[in-house]
């Protein structure tokens, strides 16, 4: 009997799910795809922090697993919130794709004046970058964002480079280096979440990449200690045990940043605690400004 996999219906989500299913099929494990709608897909006209934040793409899939509608789900790991329901297991984290953001634009970079993004982190980093730009709210899947760019509503939009790679998109623009435009924690990684049942997790665990899991677990430890939710402009990126973490003001004029070794979850928690302490005013300022 095939394993039932839950996924969002967007083209990117389906592509990521197909990747996982193909990897399982090559190992003799058959799957059946079940498409499930989420709040994040239904309410694209509202900023993320106003409709529930990071977990809006995940909750419906979690419920489907716990209710027995599906056996597992495939997520962009950056969408998975820190607090998780009992009875679930992140049983596989695939080898990381590009962690970087990509600024999509057809005009010369110096002519970009209006950039679309829904992320407070991306907004703050763009405003810090020295580019003379106005950043406007932009929600929706990749195709929706590109359509709005083509219609001239924006001069540029920000996409995750990993998503472009998974959709085989070769788009014009500028790669934003993760050393300065520090990515969202876990950006570029695909996670497989299943009911905490050894018969299921044992089959799916063969897809796990140990090196990627180590880096992203350190990033999640930092994220959990910083706190602040999706409304706080924060970037956390660990590569081969070297960690960069920062918290910015909403307008990108101020930030606190730590670069250090991040070889373990314990080190990640210590760095996260320190960053939370020195960036506390920025976190509280963002909370008060956005009313969350």
pLDDT at residue number 115: 98
Task: Evaluate if residue 168 carries a pLDDT over 60.
Answer: yes
Task: Evaluate if residue 81 carries a pLDDT over 70.
Answer: yes
% of the chain with per-residue pLDDT over 70 = 93
% of the chain with per-residue pLDDT over 90 = 86
Structure confidence by residue, pLDDT tens digits, 2-59: 999 999 999 999 999 999 999 999 999 999 999 997 654 444 444 444 444 446 679 9
Bridge partners of residue 240, in order along the sequence: none
Structure confidence by residue, pLDDT tens digits, 93-134: 999 999 999 999 999 999 999 999 999 999 999 999 999 999
Q: For the chain, list the domains and their CATH numbers.
A: 101-176 (3.40.190.10)
pLDDT at residue number 13: 94
Residues 268-287, mean pLDDT to the nearest whole number: 97
Q: What CA–CA distance (Å, rounded) separates 223 from 269?
A: 8
Burial 14-46 (b: 16+ CB within 10 A, else e): bbbbbbbbebbeeeeeebebbebebebbeeeeb
Q: What CA–CA distance (Å, rounded) separates 263 from 268?
A: 8
Task: Evaluate if residue 290 carries a pLDDT over 60.
Answer: yes
Q: Just list the catalytic residues.
A: 78-79, 121-122, 139, 145, 230
Residues 130-141, mean pLDDT to the nearest whole number: 93
More confident residue, 141 or 104: 104
Q: Whole-angstrom distance between the N-terminal and C-terminal Cα of the chain?
A: 45
pLDDT at residue number 289: 92
Chain center to CA of 135? 20
The dihedrals phi and psi of 73, each to the nearest 5 degrees, come to -140, 155
**pLDDT classification of 140: cutoffs 50, 70, 90:** confident
Q: What CA–CA distance (Å, rounded) separates 14 from 8?
A: 7
pLDDT at residue number 48: 47
């Amino acid at each position: 009997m095939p394993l039932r996999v839950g996924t969002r219906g967007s083209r990117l989500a389906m592509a990521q799910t197909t990747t996982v299913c193909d990897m399982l099929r090559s190992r003799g494990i058959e799957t059946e795809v079940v498409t499930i709608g989420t709040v994040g897909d239904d309410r694209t006209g509202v900023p993320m922090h106003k409709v529930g934040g990071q977990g809006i793409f995940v909750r419906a899939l979690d419920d489907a697993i716990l209710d027995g509608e599906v056996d597992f789900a495939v997520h962009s790991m950056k969408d998975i919130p820190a607090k998780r329901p009992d009875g679930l297991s992140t049983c596989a984290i695939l080898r990381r794709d590009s962690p970087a953001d990509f600024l999509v634009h057809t005009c010369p970079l110096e002519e970009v004046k209006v950039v679309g993004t829904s992320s407070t982190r991306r907004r703050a980093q763009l405003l810090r970058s020295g580019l003379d730009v106005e950043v406007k709210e932009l929600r929706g899947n990749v195709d929706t964002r590109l359509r709005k760019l083509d219609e001239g509503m924006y001069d540029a939009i920000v996409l995750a480079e990993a998503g472009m790679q998974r959709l085989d998109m070769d788009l014009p623009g500028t790669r934003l280096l993760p050393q300065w435009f520090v990515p969202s924690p876990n950006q570029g990684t695909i996670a497989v979440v299943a009911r905490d049942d050894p018969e299921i997790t044992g089959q799916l665990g063969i897809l796990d990449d140990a090196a990627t899991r180590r880096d992203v677990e350190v990033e999640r430890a930092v994220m959990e200690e910083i706190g602040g939710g999706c409304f706080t402009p924060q970037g956390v990126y660990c590569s081969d045990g070297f960690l960069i973490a920062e918290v910015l003001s909403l307008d990108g004029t101020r930030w606190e940043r730590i670069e250090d070794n991040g070889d373990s979850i314990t080190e990640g928690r210590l760095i996260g605690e320190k960053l939370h302490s020195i960036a506390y005013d920025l976190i509280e300022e963002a909370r008060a400004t956005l009313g969350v």
